[in-house]
């Protein structure tokens, strides 16, 4: 059970501390109460540029000591975001490194250097990002909805930034950055969140220590201005791909209470169990997906958007009004039940993701008191609705750096009666079930521990097509939702290029297990091709597993159970017998190269190159080599040559094959030239005969092996070992030598032709 403490330090810094005793990672998030709507009109994109520049050199930390390379070298995660009225920087590392990371975070907030080289570099990166975002459908939808705001005018301005917007006067740009930083980056405007297994007192001492390095300043009067919508606030937008409907409303009042109510609303609306809100939309084929997003949050309130994947916007608009009326009849018991589901969903997140939800997302409240007032406000609040689809024929409108095809739109009334909605908990009559006589070959780890966790995955070296994975996802979602209502949890996700089912099984879930084999039958082929991802590199990554695998999914599954009693194990093994059997050791894939050219509507060039680990190269040597390559590749391609927005070189496991993955996306350089750059980089890579470098690689690999292992990771590793697939261990890491690193580099160059290449045309 986590504990929380909120502080206001003497210098004005707001601090939220979360002690999470079982956390295996620790995280920090710093939020500044200034975003894109606070930047001067003369400098569109200034807040976004500052977000990027803070990761550059600061007074105390330069080069590889900066927060970004330091976190990457530690195997952690970090990112940043610029919102309308706030900006945030956040990272996650192992708990023992939290203090070092927070010290770096505070220094980059307090004392950025704004060197001319860094400003030029990040201006180029943002320009590439702007070109990328121009084709990004979600960003285009948001820009279209912003045209429905009559005031404030900030919603109509360009905020992404570009070379043209920043201009040629680097001195004036640097001065504007300094002024914006001095105006907002002080303790009266900053909030700090810290979360980890450390005690609240330890976290408080850390917050107090780093706060002393931050510039002091008082709290500014909030400049919040609630958006007002134009008279005809509904609009239609031409986009590629599937249709989507956004229903948005601005909610006024206590923002904490509003956010609490919306978190509970999201849990109700996304219920995919039979009879649930989302299930009713799917049953009528009115919508397939619903996401909830804050378009703007400030102290005056929040602009909320519900985003439906649908080809039936008129029906969904009518359904939403019906759903609000149905939710107004829910009992306190039902509200507590869905609140518990929201709390379970939140508890399953990593510390960094929890902090992001706390700062600007959907952290669950302690109670449901604000739910009914929220429903009443939603029913009466003015709405701005957006319908986007390929069928929309509009007129060109230039706005916020986009060229959008827009036209007026208004939903029409529908004659179909809305579906009845059911809310849990519901009485579930027990059914008489007869399990199969046979038993699946089910691997069992950590017997008699709790909880019982099931892992199901396709056979090794196979990959499900995107269409099959999506089809199975749709079949499984109602089953997963039912399990949540019974006290369990389940998910269908891609891990290392292989789709897998993970489920925590409560006692008494035999009816659920009995339904699982049918839900995992491969769906009939959908002849409609899924629309490509708006971002070229993400589309290539989506297609990579099929390019790397030796065959498509065969319907043969491998399974493991972590925890659970002997009785639970026997029940799972019996019910899975129709789909899980002993597949023996898999056939090893041939070492042959492959090239796939992907048509993509975007203007950027993109390239993925996967170099499989040669049989003669120890896996520990490949992974150590990747650790050396990753920061150097980024430095050369992103910093020195400014290839583009996407630059990556790292170890990657895909469809059970280990290798090095190069990923590049550029607005200016053709795929063939990008490929040549990768080859030149590997040729010119110099590995110094320095014992410290070798020891650093060993230490990082040992740390990976020493980290506590989650149940799913333990089952993945056990299944690989049973299948005869190799992995690193303590002995192979200890045996790592400088010669092995050089040989790994040589083998990769010699077997360059065995790589799997995906590129845009």
Catalytic residues: 51
Nearest Cα to Cα of residue 85 among 362, 360, 298, 400: 298
Angle between helices 566-575 and 510-519 (to 10 degrees): 30
- DSSP secondary structure of 584-597: -SPPPPP---EEEE
Find residue 759's DSSP bridge partners: 597, 607
Least Cα distance to 622 among 658, 672, 569, 581 occurs for 658
For 75: left if phi > 0, alpha if psi spans -120 to 50, otherwise beta; the answer is: left
Separation CA 173–CA 114 (nearest Å): 10
Token pair for residue 604? 């950027």
From CA 117, how far away is CA 129, in angstroms rounded?
18
For residues 622 and 634, give the distance between their C-alpha atoms in angstroms, rounded to a whole number: 18
Query: CA nearest 546: which of 301, 756, 299?
Result: 756
Concatenate the DSSP letters of all residues of 392-432 into one string. ---EEEEETTEEEEEEE--PPP--SPPPP---S--------
Q: What is the CA radius of gyration of the chain?
A: 27
CA distance 250 to 294: 10
In the numeric block, which tokens belong to residue 720? 């690989």
DSSP 112: B
3-state helix, strand, coil in the chain (%, to 5): 40, 20, 35
User: Using CA atoms, how far apart are residues 586 and 324, in angstroms rounded to an integer?
Assistant: 52
What is the SS3 assignment for 662? strand
In this structure, are residues 513 and 503 in contact, taking their beta carbons and an 8 Å threshold? no
ω into 80 cis (within 30 of 0) = no
How many other CB atoms are found less than 10 A from the CB of residue 750?
A: 11
Q: Which two tokens stand for residue 284?
A: 């009528």
**What gap in Å lies between CA 628 and CA 650, rounded to an integer?**
9
Quote the tokens at residue 368. 């449901």
Adjacent-strand bridge partners of 244: 309, 388
Say if strands 557-562 and 244-252 run parallel, antiparallel, or are unpaired: unpaired
Contact 422, 275 (CB under 8 A): yes
Six token digits for residue 366: 């302690």
| DSSP secondary structure string for all residues of 535-573 | SHHHHHHHHHHHHHSSEE--S-EEEEEES--HHHHHHHH
In angstroms, the CA 457 to CA 719 distance is 10
End-to-end alpha-carbon separation of the chain, Å?
52
User: Rounded CA gap, 191 and 180, in Å?
Assistant: 18
Total length of the chain: 761
Three-class SS of 211-272: HCCCCCCCCCCCCCCCCEECCCCCEEEECCCCCEEEEEEEEECCHHHHHHHHHHHHHHHCCC
> Which helix (H) or strand (E) element contains residue 134?
none
Residues 86, 52 contacting (CB under 8 angstroms) = no
């Amino acid at each position: 059970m986590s504990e929380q403490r909120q502080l206001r330090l003497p210098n004005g810094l707001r601090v939220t501390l979360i002690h999470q005793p079982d956390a295996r990672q620790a995280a920090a998030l710093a939020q500044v109460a200034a975003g894109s709507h606070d930047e001067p009109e003369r400098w569109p994109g200034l807040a976004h540029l500052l977000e990027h520049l803070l990761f550059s050199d600061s007074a105390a930390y330069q080069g590889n000591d900066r927060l970004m390379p330091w976190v990457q070298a530690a195997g952690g995660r970090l990112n940043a975001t610029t919102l309308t009225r706030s900006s945030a920087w956040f990272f996650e590392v192992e708990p023992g490194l939290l203090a070092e990371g927070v010290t770096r975070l505070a220094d980059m907030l307090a004392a950025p250097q704004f060197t001319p080289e860094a400003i030029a570099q990040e201006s180029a990166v943002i320009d590439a990002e702007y070109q990328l975002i121009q084709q990004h459908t979600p960003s285009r939808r948001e820009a279209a909805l912003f045209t429905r705001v009559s005031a404030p005018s900030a919603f109509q301005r360009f905020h992404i930034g570009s070379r043209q917007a920043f201009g040629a006067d680097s001195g004036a740009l640097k001065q504007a950055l300094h002024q914006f930083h001095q105006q907002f980056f002080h303790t009266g405007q900053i909030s700090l969140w810290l979360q980890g297994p450390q005690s609240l007192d330890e976290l408080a001492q850390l917050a107090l220590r780093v706060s002393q390095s931050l510039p002091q300043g008082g709290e500014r009067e909030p400049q919040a201005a609630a958006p007002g919508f134009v008279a005809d606030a509904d609009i239609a937008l031409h986009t590629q791909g599937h249709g989507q409907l956004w229903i948005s409303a601005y909610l006024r009042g206590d923002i904490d209470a509003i956010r609490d109510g919306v978190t509970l609303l999201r849990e109700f609306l996304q219920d995919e169990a039979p009879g649930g809100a989302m299930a009713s939309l799917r049953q009528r084929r009115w919508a397939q997906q619903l996401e909830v997003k804050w378009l703007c949050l400030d102290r005056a309130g929040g602009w909320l958007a519900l985003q439906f994947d649908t080809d039936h916007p008129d029906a969904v608009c009518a359904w939403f009004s019906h759903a609000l009326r149905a939710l107004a009849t829910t009992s306190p018991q039902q509200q507590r039940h869905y609140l518990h589901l929201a709390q379970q969903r939140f508890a399953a997140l990593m510390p960094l993701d929890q902090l992001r939800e706390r700062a600007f997302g959907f952290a669950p409240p302690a109670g449901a008191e604000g739910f009914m007032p929220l429903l009443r406000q939603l029913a009466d609040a003015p709405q701005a609705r957006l319908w986007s689809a390929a069928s929309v024929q509009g007129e060109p409108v230039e706005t916020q750096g986009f060229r959008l095809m827009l036209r007026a739109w208004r939903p029409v009334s529908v004659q179909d009666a809305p579906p009845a909605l059911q809310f849990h908990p519901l009485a579930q009559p027990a059914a008489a079930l007869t399990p199969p006589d046979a038993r699946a070959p089910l691997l069992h780890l950590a017997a008699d521990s709790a909880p019982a966790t099931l892992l199901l995955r396709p056979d090794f070296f196979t990959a499900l097509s995107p269409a099959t994975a999506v089809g199975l996802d749709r079949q499984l979602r109602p089953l997963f939702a039912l399990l949540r209502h019974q006290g369990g949890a389940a998910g269908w996700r891609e891990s290392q290029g292989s789709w897998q089912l993970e489920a925590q099984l409560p006692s008494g879930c035999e009816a659920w297990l009995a339904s699982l084999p049918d839900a995992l039958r491969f769906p009939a082929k959908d002849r409609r091709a899924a629309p490509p991802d708006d971002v070229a590199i993400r589309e290539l990554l989506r297609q990579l597993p099929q390019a790397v695998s030796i065959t498509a999914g065969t319907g043969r599954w491998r399974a493991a159970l972590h925890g659970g009693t002997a009785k639970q194990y026997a029940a799972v093994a019996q019910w899975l017998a129709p789909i899980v059997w002993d597949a023996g050791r898999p056939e090893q894939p041939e070492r042959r190269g492959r090239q796939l050219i992907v048509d993509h509507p975007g203007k950027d060039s993109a390239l993925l190159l996967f170099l499989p680990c040669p049989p003669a190269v120890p896996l520990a040597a490949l992974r150590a080599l990747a650790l050396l390559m990753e920061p150097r590749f980024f430095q050369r391609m992103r910093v020195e040559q400014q290839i583009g927005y996407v630059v990556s070189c790292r170890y990657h496991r895909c469809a059970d094959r280990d290798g090095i993955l190069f990923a590049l996306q550029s607005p200016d350089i053709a795929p063939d030239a990008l490929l040549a750059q990768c080859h030149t980089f590997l040729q010119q890579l110099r590995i110094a005969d320095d014992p410290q470098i070798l020891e650093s690689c060993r230490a990082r690999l040992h740390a990976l092996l020493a980290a506590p292992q989650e149940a799913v990771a333990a089952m993945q590793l056990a299944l690989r070992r049973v299948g005869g697939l190799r992995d690193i261990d303590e002995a192979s890491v200890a045996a790592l030598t400088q010669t092995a690193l050089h040989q790994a580099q040589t083998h990769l160059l010699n077997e360059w032709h065995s790589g799997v290449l995906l590129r845009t045309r």
